[in-house]
Structure 1
Amino acid sequence: MPSPPLSLLSLTAMLVLLVGCASGVPQAIREETVASPSLAEVQEQPERHRGRRIRWGGSILKVRNLAQTTEIEMLARPLNRFGEPDASAGSLGRFLIEIAGFRDPVEYPAERLLTVAGSVARVENRPVGDFPYRYPVVAGATLHLWPQPIALTPYPAPYPYPYPWYDPWLGSHRDPWFDPRY
């Protein structure tokens, strides 16, 4: 029979392992693809990178449902070590995600962060405004939609300013709980 400290230690270790394995991020997104080419490399040499595994992410620009597939247009951003796109970083370019079936555009709103792990299918030429742009297309993808950050509202002041005990000549130390004699 193990001693109590050992069983407590093993219970703690199991709990830590269980919590670590319980994250909602798919393993294909969490783990960096070994030789994932950059977006610019795929745009320059699409034949060389066709079929290669990638892990890219960024901000959703728009979602388009076609007859058999859903197409998500993305603004690529650099990923952190966990696979989450950095919303404050500059753009790396644009790419398309092609997914079989229907995805509701309401569930994938514009400006939400999304990471994809899949393979490069092809490069399509489409206009961005009047400029012709080469979009790498990622197919057979594992997607992870990152949760929206919680917007913190500032805590309101307990009393409206100027406080009733504020005296501009004596400073802000004139409140009911401050007495200079003590």
Structure 2
Amino acid sequence: MKRYLLIICLLLNACANLPTAIKNPPSNDISYTQAIQNVAGYKDAPVRWGGIITDVENEQNFTQVQVLYYPLDWEGEPETDKPNAGRFVFKTQEFLDPAVYTKNTEITVAGTLIGDIERTVGKKVMRLPLISATTIYRWPVYECDSRYDGYGYNPYYTGYPYYWGDYYWPFARPGVRYR
């Protein structure tokens, strides 16, 4: 019972800390597909997009981040189990440390579509939508100690089949990262 209470508290806490611009889409939410087809027609429109970081470039006065676009779920988190639709770039006046905003980090950005920008991906030159970011949210990755992942764990029971060496078998998977 305590385990479920802890999970519920963590989920409620995670939802409470989301910025409003990330939690709630703009009133006239423009999809990535619409923007790609007519970037000039949607210039200065508010957007909320997300995905996985592919590149971070820090200039003297701004940072540009290239993101592999994924659709967002109901709370604004990228759904990486669905197919991606392309890439976009967002620009911010903040310094985003490449050690923190690393490649493959999930991110959601709210801001204004200001046009497009030319980028080279491999040897192909592409025109990608450019967003002026007002809110940036980096999604946390939760890691669990696999010995205590909640399946079959009983601190008072040390017999077979649950206890095997240093972890609880067959349910624990050492080295697995949970999301």
TM-score w.r.t. length of structure 1: 0.70
Cα distance between partner residues in 1 of 2:54 and 2:126: 15
| Aligned pair partner of 2:163 in 153, 158, 166 | 158
> What is the SS of the residue equivalent to 1:97?
strand
- Equivalent in the alignment of 1:52: 45
- Give the stretch that moved more between structures: 97-106 or 146-155: 146-155
User: Identity percentage over the alignment?
Assistant: 27
Q: Are 1:115 and 1:143, in contact at CA under 8 Å, matched by a contact in 2?
A: yes
The answer for the alignment partner of 1:63 in structure 2 is: 56
**2:121 paired residue among 111, 125, 128:** 128
Deviation at 1:154, TM superposition (A): 5.8
Q: Which has the larger radius of gyration?
A: 1
| 1:14 aligned residue | none
Unaligned runs of 5+ in 2: 1-11, 149-160, 166-179
* In the alignment, structure 1 residue 109 sits paired with structure 2 residue 114: no
**Paired residues, number:** 143
The correspondence of residues 17-36 of structure 1 with structure 2, limited to 5 A, is: 23-36=16-29
Which residue number corresponds to residue 139 of structure 2? 146
Q: Any conservation in 2 of the 1:69–1:101 contact (CA below 8 Å)?
A: yes
Letter in 1 for 2:43: R
CA RMSD of aligned residues (A): 2.5
Moved more, 84-93 or 109-118: 84-93
Residue 20 of structure 1 and its aligned partner are, at CA, apart by 7.6
Q: Distance in 2 between the 1:21 and 1:157 partners?
A: 32
Aligned-residue offset at 1:21 = 10
Question: Deviation of residue 24 (structure 1)?
Answer: 1.3
Distance in 1 (CA, whole Å) between partners of 2:139 and 2:58 is 21
Check the 8 A contact 1:57/1:78 in 2, yes or no. yes
Give the drift of 1:109.
Answer: 1.1
The answer to which of 38-47 and 61-70 deviates more is: 38-47
The alpha-carbon distance between structure 1 residues 124 and 146, as it changes in their structure 2 partners (threshold 3 A), is same
Provide the C-alpha distance between the structure 1 equivalents of 2:52 and 2:94, rounded to a whole number of angstroms: 21
Q: TM-score scaled by structure 2? A: 0.71
